[in-house]
Amino acid sequence: MTETTTPSLQAEVKRLHELRLHIDELKRVEKMIEADILSQSRDIIAAQLADAPYGAGTATLDVEGYKTKVVVSKRPSYDQAGLAAIRDQLIAAGQDANEYISVKYDVAEAAYK
């Protein structure tokens, strides 16, 4: 089923599509610039957050009057194999490992392909 559209509607739909493409490109460039800023200012950010718990918090970059806030989140990581070994030891000792360790299962996206 083909719908009849007016030339002005077709033009607006085309314009919207082109605008969305342009926005996607701007977002891609924005991410590249943000990554470049982070890589170049890593030492400045680390120095500002040196006394913050876990090195996390908000740092402010002031470059030639342009202020940019950088939020560094806590991202703890754990030795998964070590935790599994500790869990096995607790179970072997007759302890309830769930009192001490919560288990989160994760499946890689690649496993679905």
Domain spans of the chain, in order of start = 7-72, 80-112
| Tens-place pLDDT, residues 28-78 | 999 999 899 989 999 999 999 999 888 889 999 999 999 999 998 887 778
pLDDT for 2 beyond 80:
no
Highest mean pLDDT among 21-25, 88-92, 97-101: 21-25
The residues that bridge with 66 in the sheet, in sequence order, are: 63
Residue 105, token pair as written in the block: 């299962």
Burial class (CB in 10 A: 0-12, 13-18, 19+), 92: exposed
**Rounded Cα–Cα distance for residues 4 and 35 (Å):** 46
Residue 2 is encoded by which pair of tokens?
Answer: 């083909």
Which two three-digit tokens encode residue 97? Answer: 């490992």
